[in-house]
Structure 1
């Protein structure tokens, strides 16, 4: 018991002294991240189960933090980490929703992200729906690639 306590103190001290933080602790990859659209400068936000995700002014709130587990993009703002997933629509050009991960068919919760390194830029793709993007109305949808940066995202801590 005493060794475990000393180890916890040592880890806390090293974290505080060296400036490591949990999101950046693994080889330059953010374990939890915010997703910022390169055109609008706004961040992707979880709004609850069975509700569309939206883009809002970037703030350090749990509703704007996401994590990648395999091919799933999971919200950190659900109260139970790993329970809420970013979900693609069943057709192209449909809204992206927040849904319970375990209730969804795998093809609607499978996403490809090249890198979640700090400040990495890239697209977020779904095999079933296409690319995550923001349309001119401001809605977050999944569909075909578009010109410009409406489907380009930056991963920030």
Structure 2
């Protein structure tokens, strides 16, 4: 009986928890060698549960496996998770954002490698974390960093700060 109560409380806790997006930052702010942000706009919803992207951007170079995608999750100064994948493997295996982004844009749908340069338009793409991403995390403030590197040099960097609360 105690085990059943424990699992019910755990499920209720996971279900009741909310994610609030605090901020999203990117680097470089000035002209990048990889992307021209063009008319891309970022808007946070009033309830802080979503970020919306809308507009057009130009990918200046094709992206292939010589570029690495580094995903880090931090709580305070401690790294909780760190994943490093070649770009093509990242878009092929990432299931949280990439499929939805490709559906809501004119980006290639079949994850080609190399990913072609060109002008892409995004139709109101929203960032929202799924419950499966949040379940193992405790309440608190987190920073997710996504870095694209080539030959050890940072080309792009995105930082999402979010909080998990009951």
TM range (shorter): under 0.3
Larger radius of gyration between Structure 1 and Structure 2: 2
Superposition TM-score, scaled by structure 2 size: 0.26
> Relative CO higher for 1 or 2, CA cutoff 8 Å, sep ≥ 6?
2
Superposition TM-score, scaled by structure 1 size: 0.27
